[in-house]
């Protein structure tokens, strides 16, 4: 809208996954965009499709079981990355778009020093001497606030604690100054105090470098602090999207509401690291979904129409969108 | 520093093991029914009273058992492993003459099995259900169940007789003259069939092992991370995955070394390879006890040395083991 192209535009992303019982659609028509320097939160219960969305952007979906829908487009600076050949895609990964994963204990190769794992990325993407890459590694370790970076650069992952390792993966991910960092539940595996430190770090990095961040979590409260905008996924569909403040104050989708109800104190801005909220029932398996609203089996407002017909996305105000029949009145075809 | 400490510790263990073998050897001779002198002389006919007296003197058989043990240990410590009656030579020099040939055979077989096996495993790991992968599984099965000597004989018939591209046995062409280079080539030519025979069983085993390890490694988080970094597939495969997949291979290789050494006995006999294996075969056939016991002892020493080398290479590959974690930098949060 404001720019000719947003930095990233995911358009009608669908993923079919081949499983033992056949093919299931694990992601269905998800669209969103990300502007330069923005932080977008992606929330949803386990299995809602957050990781698959991220992997689709990286083009690292499990092969050959995952297949993208024909209409799917992922535009990076206006170019469809799904059309790139593997070589061109590799130049994007780690250099323009980076990703860090949930479990820092296993994300680093145990046999190479932390410095080497940063430096190899730099050398591969930018060339230059070994010494220059090593120097960049030290800088990066300093940037993610690892003490004694000159020494740490020669350490092996097993000499680092979980929090340090996640800092190290962040250092790797940011080494080539990417425009986008996708952080897939970067703190789920860490202690509560360490979680807060990592979030502080991400916040600072964002301020300093202007890297756009997609922050994935199943915990609304952690996301609320760091993001300006939130997208809520449920059962492979985007059910609500809007400015973080608005969604926290005034959630419109029954699922988002339920998510928030289970995190007491959030609205009063208190810090909370409550676990996954308990909403009655469970996420339906993708193959159990009929044509209707994926949340219908657990929704207290569910009506007959909800079970038979998918609610379209409705715009509530300029930036707030919700896919729920309760807000049909506000309907004005949007995606 | 830590490495030196490790080697010393392993050496101490090794010395202990070798010592145990020495004592066991001693007990074998002395607890066996009958006259130890007779046992030592072997059943190599024509044992004269003089020979028996000579044996009694060297082994101090007239003294109490513990004195005899000490005497025996003293002899062994000074490298005196006795006299082979069949070959009529000191046991130690006999073994040392044969050891290089065996080491050449065993190390060639082991190294080529590891290299080729790992390479096949890596290639097969890229297509877990492809024909290569299945072929390796079948070959591994055949390898397990094929008697080594039978395979050796079949290879001899095929490649030394029906299609004679390799010599039929021995280590060098008799009366062969030439420069060092040609001589080496000649030995290499003789080495192919026996080394392949010995390597075959392990080749398939290593490829299966490394294929399984590669598959597991390729599914790990740090490989996904390496992909997310934009590294090319070959770098991921040969730098990040292979090295991790090699760790169990090294472990197994170390454990299997003594088996390979045992396998060499048969292979050397089939191919007339002038090594320790053949010597072992002879010593058993001729009931040449001093020689047999000496071979046991030297084999134990070889196994100990190989285990130390395995341990060291293990540490070279994997920084998590030993040295690093003890003296490395520790970090808090
Ligand atoms: N390798 C796979 N094979 C088949 N189905 C898969 C595979 N990985 C994930 N899925 C399915 O894809 C759907 C989305 O999974 P995804 O990992 O994206 O969820 P998520 O939102 O990241 O959950 P979590 O919070 O547990 O990480 C789930 O229904 C899951 O069962
Ligand atoms: S569409 Fe119906 S079932 Fe779905 S969330 Fe809205 S009210 Fe509930
Ligand atoms: Mg996930």
Domain ranges of chain B: 13-77, 92-325
pLDDT over 70, % of chain A: 89
pLDDT over 70, % of chain B: 92
A302 Cβ closer than 6 Å to some ligand 2 atom: yes
Measured from the alpha carbon of residue A231, the closest ligand is: 1
pLDDT over 90, % of chain A: 61
Whether A138 has a pLDDT exceeding 90, the answer reads: yes
A301 Cβ closer than 6 Å to some ligand 2 atom: yes
Contact A108 B240 (CB under 8 A): no
Pocket test for ligand 1, best of A26, A61, A186, A189 (most atoms within 8 A of CB): A26
The segment with the largest mean pLDDT, out of A28-32, A293-297, A309-313, B138-142, is A28-32
Contact list in A for residue B238 (CB cut-off 8 A) is none
My answer on whether omega of the bond before B64 falls inside 30° of 0, hence cis, is no
| Confidence grade of residue B330 (pLDDT, cut at 50, 70, 90) | very low
Interface test with B, best of A76, A92, A110 (most B CBs within 10 A): A110
What's the whole-number average pLDDT of chain A?
A: 88
Whether A65 has a pLDDT exceeding 50, the answer reads: yes
Q: In CATH, which of 3.40.50.2000, 1.10.3720.10, 3.40.50.300, 3.50.50.60 is domain B92-325?
A: 1.10.3720.10
pLDDT tens for B233-277 read 999 998 999 888 888 888 888 888 888 888 888 899 899 889 988
Average pLDDT in the A114-138 region? Answer: 95
In Å, how far are B23, B63, B164, B263, B267 from B159, measured between CA atoms? 45, 57, 5, 21, 16
Contact B222 A147 (CB under 8 A): no
Whether A132 has a pLDDT exceeding 90, the answer reads: yes
Question: What was the pLDDT predicted at A232?
Answer: 95
- Round to whole Å and give the CA distance between B215 and B99: 39
Q: Which atom of ligand 1 is nearest to the CA of A233?
A: 21
- Round to whole Å and give the CA distance between A57 and A49: 13
Chains A, B: CB pairs < 8 Å: 103
Whether A63 has a pLDDT exceeding 60, the answer reads: yes
Measured from the alpha carbon of residue A328, the closest ligand is: 2
pLDDT greater at residue B252 or residue B59: B252
For residue A31, give both structure tokens: 């669209």
pLDDT tens for A226-265 read 899 999 999 999 999 999 999 998 899 999 998 888 765 5
Contact B229 A98 (CB under 8 A): yes
Average pLDDT in the A279-298 region? Answer: 73
A156 at interface of B, judged by CB pairs closer than 8 A: yes
Give the distance from CA B166 to its chain's centroid: 24
A49 Cβ closer than 6 Å to some ligand 1 atom: yes
pLDDT tens for B143-161 read 778 888 898 889 888 888 8
A225 at interface of B, judged by CB pairs closer than 8 A: no
Whether B44 has a pLDDT exceeding 60, the answer reads: no
Angle (CA) B264 B269 B273, round 5°: 75
Q: Lowest-pLDDT range, A40-49, A196-205, B25-34?
A: B25-34
Nearest CA in chain B to A92: B230
Question: What was the pLDDT predicted at B326?
Answer: 36
Q: Which residues contact B224 (CB under 8 A, 6 or more apart)?
A: A60, A101, A107
Going by DSSP bridges, is the β-strand pair A212-217/B89-90 parallel, antiparallel, or unpaired?
Answer: unpaired
Which residue, judged by its Cα, is nearest atom 6 of ligand 1? A17
**DSSP of B304-318:** HHHHHHHHHHHHHH-
The 10 Å Cβ neighbour count of residue B333 is 14
Asked whether the beta carbons of A225 and A285 are under 8 A apart, the reply is no
A17 Cβ closer than 6 Å to some ligand 1 atom: yes
Q: Which atom of ligand 1 is nearest to the CA of A52?
A: 18
A136 Cβ closer than 6 Å to some ligand 1 atom: no
Nearest CA in chain A to B222: A107
Q: Which region, left, alpha or beta, applies to residue A210 given φ > 0 means left and ψ of -120 to 50 means alpha? A: left
Alpha helices in chain A (DSSP H): 50-58, 86-92, 104-107, 114-126, 130-143, 149-152, 162-174, 192-209, 220-226, 244-249, 254-261, 304-308
- Round to whole Å and give the CA distance between A12 and A1: 18
A residues 44..73 contacting B (CB < 8 A) = 58, 60
Q: Which region, left, alpha or beta, applies to residue A120 given φ > 0 means left and ψ of -120 to 50 means alpha? A: alpha
pLDDT tens for B125-137 read 888 788 888 888 8
| Confidence grade of residue B314 (pLDDT, cut at 50, 70, 90) | confident
Predicted-complex ipTM score: 0.88
Q: Lowest-pLDDT range, B241-255, B289-303, B314-328?
A: B314-328
Whether B299 has a pLDDT exceeding 70, the answer reads: yes
A62 Cβ closer than 6 Å to some ligand 1 atom: yes
Average pLDDT in the A324-334 region? Answer: 69
- Round to whole Å and give the CA distance between A240 and A294: 13
| Confidence grade of residue A5 (pLDDT, cut at 50, 70, 90) | confident
Phi and psi for A289 in degrees, rounded to 5? Answer: -70, 130
A239 Cβ closer than 6 Å to some ligand 2 atom: no
Asked whether the beta carbons of A231 and A42 are under 8 A apart, the reply is yes
Whether B109 has a pLDDT exceeding 60, the answer reads: yes
| Confidence grade of residue A274 (pLDDT, cut at 50, 70, 90) | very low
Whether B324 has a pLDDT exceeding 70, the answer reads: no
Nearest CA in chain A to B317: A111
Q: Nearest-CA distance from B324 to chain A in Å?
A: 8
> What own/partner pairs with CB < 8 Å and gap ≥ 24 does B232-235 have?
B232/A90, B232/A124, B235/A120, B235/A124
Average pLDDT in the A177-195 region? Answer: 91
Contact A156 B227 (CB under 8 A): no
Question: What was the pLDDT predicted at A280?
Answer: 67
For residue A170, give both structure tokens: 């962040």
* DSSP three-state, residue B123: helix
- pTM of the predicted model as reported, rounded to 2 decimal places: 0.82
- Round to whole Å and give the CA distance between A324 and A312: 7
Q: Lowest-pLDDT range, A159-163, A295-299, B66-70?
A: B66-70
Sheet holding A229-234, edge to edge: A97-100, A180-184, A212-217, A39-43, A229-234, A237-243, A320-323, A313-316
> What own/partner pairs with CB < 8 Å and gap ≥ 24 does B57-61 have?
B58/B82, B61/B36, B61/B37
Phi and psi for A59 in degrees, rounded to 5? Answer: 55, 45
Contact B230 A169 (CB under 8 A): no
A residues 79..98 contacting B (CB < 8 A) = 90-95, 98
Question: What was the pLDDT predicted at B322?
Answer: 60
Q: Which atom of ligand 2 is nearest to the CA of A296?
A: 3
Tokens 């810090």 correspond to what residue? A271
- Round to whole Å and give the CA distance between A236 and A283: 10
Contact B220 A106 (CB under 8 A): yes
Whether A158 has a pLDDT exceeding 90, the answer reads: yes
Q: Nearest-CA distance from A312 to chain B in Å?
A: 34
Asked whether the beta carbons of A229 and A241 are under 8 A apart, the reply is yes
Nearest CA in chain A to B245: A111
- Round to whole Å and give the CA distance between A122 and A136: 8
pLDDT greater at residue B178 or residue B314: B314
- Round to whole Å and give the CA distance between A234 and A255: 8
Whether B214 has a pLDDT exceeding 70, the answer reads: yes
Contact list in A for residue B331 (CB cut-off 8 A) is 146-147, 152, 155, 159-161, 164
């Amino acid at each position: 809208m404001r720019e000719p192209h947003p930095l990233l535009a995911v358009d009608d992303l669908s993923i079919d996954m081949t499983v033992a019982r056949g093919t299931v659609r694990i992601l269905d028509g998800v669209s969103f965009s990300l502007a330069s320097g923005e932080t977008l939160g992606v929330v949803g219960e386990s299995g809602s499709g957050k990781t698959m969305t991220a992997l689709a952007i990286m083009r690292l979906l499990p092969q050959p079981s995952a297949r993208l829908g024909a209409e799917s487009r992922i535009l990076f600076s206006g170019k469809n990355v799904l059309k790139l050949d593997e070589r061109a895609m590799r130049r994007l990964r780690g250099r323009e778009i980076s990703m860090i994963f949930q479990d820092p204990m296993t994300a680093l190769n145990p046999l190479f020093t932390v410095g080497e794992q940063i430096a190899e990325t730099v050398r591969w993407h930018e060339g230059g001497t070994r010494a220059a890459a090593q120097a960049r590694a030290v800088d990066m370790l300093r940037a993610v606030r690892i003490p004694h970076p000159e020494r740490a650069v020669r350490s092996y992952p097993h000499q680092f604690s979980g929090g340090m390792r996640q800092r190290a993966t962040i250092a790797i991910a940011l080494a080539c100054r990417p425009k986008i960092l996708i952080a897939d539940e970067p703190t789920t595996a860490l202690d509560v105090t360490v979680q807060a430190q990592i979030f502080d770090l991400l916040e600072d990095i964002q301020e300093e470098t202007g890297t756009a961040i997609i922050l994935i979590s199943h915990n609304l409260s952690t996301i609320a602090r760091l993001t300006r905008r939130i997208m809520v996924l449920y059962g492979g569909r985007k059910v609500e999207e809007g400015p973080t403040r608005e969604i926290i104050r005034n959630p419109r989708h029954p699922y988002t509401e339920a998510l928030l109800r289970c995190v007491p104190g959030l609205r009063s801005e208190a810090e909370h690291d409550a676990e996954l909220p308990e909403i009655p029932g469970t996420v339906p398996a993708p193959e159990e979904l009929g044509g209707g609203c994926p949340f219908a089996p657990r929704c207290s407002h569910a009506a007959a129409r909800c079970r038979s017909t998918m609610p379209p996305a409705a715009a509530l105000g300029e930036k707030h969108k919700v896919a729920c029949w309760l807000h049909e009145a506000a309907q004005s075809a949007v995606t | 520093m830590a490495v030196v400490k490790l080697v010393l510790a392993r050496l101490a263990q090794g010395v202990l093991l070798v010592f145990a073998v020495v004592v066991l050897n001693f007990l074998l001779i002395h607890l066996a029914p009958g006259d130890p002198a007779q046992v030592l002389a072997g059943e190599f006919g024509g044992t004269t009273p003089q020979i028996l007296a000579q044996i009694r003197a060297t082994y101090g058989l007239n003294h109490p058992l513990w004195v005899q043990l000490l005497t025996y240990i003293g002899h062994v410590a000074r490298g005196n492993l006795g006299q082979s009656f069949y070959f009529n030579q000191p046991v130690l020099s006999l073994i040392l003459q044969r050891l290089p040939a065996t080491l050449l055979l065993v190390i060639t077989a082991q190294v080529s099995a590891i290299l080729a096996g790992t390479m096949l495993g890596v290639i097969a790991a890229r297509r877990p259900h492809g024909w290569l992968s299945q072929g390796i599984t079948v070959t591994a099965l055949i390898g397990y169940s094929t008697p080594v000597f039978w395979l050796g004989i079949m290879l001899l018939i095929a490649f030394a007789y029906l299609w004679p591209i390799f010599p039929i046995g021995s280590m060098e062409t008799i009366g062969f003259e030439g420069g060092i280079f040609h001589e080496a080539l000649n030995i290499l030519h003789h080495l192919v069939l026996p080394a392949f025979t010995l390597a075959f069983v392990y080749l398939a085993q290593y490829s299966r092992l490394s294929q399984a390890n590669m598959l597991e490694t390729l599914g790990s988080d740090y490989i996904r991370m390496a992909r997310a970094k934009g590294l090319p597939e070959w770098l991921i495969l040969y730098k990040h995955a292979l090295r991790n997949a090699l760790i169990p291979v090294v472990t197994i290789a170390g454990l299997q070394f003594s088996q390979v050494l045992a396998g060499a006995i048969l292979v050397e006999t089939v191919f007339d390879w002038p090594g320790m294996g053949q010597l072992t075969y002879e010593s058993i056939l001729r009931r040449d006890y001093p020689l047999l016991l000496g071979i046991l002892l030297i084999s134990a020493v070889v196994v100990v040395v190989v285990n130390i080398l395995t341990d060291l290479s293990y540490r070279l590959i994997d920084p998590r083991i030993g040295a690093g974690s003890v003296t490395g930098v520790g970090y808090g949060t």
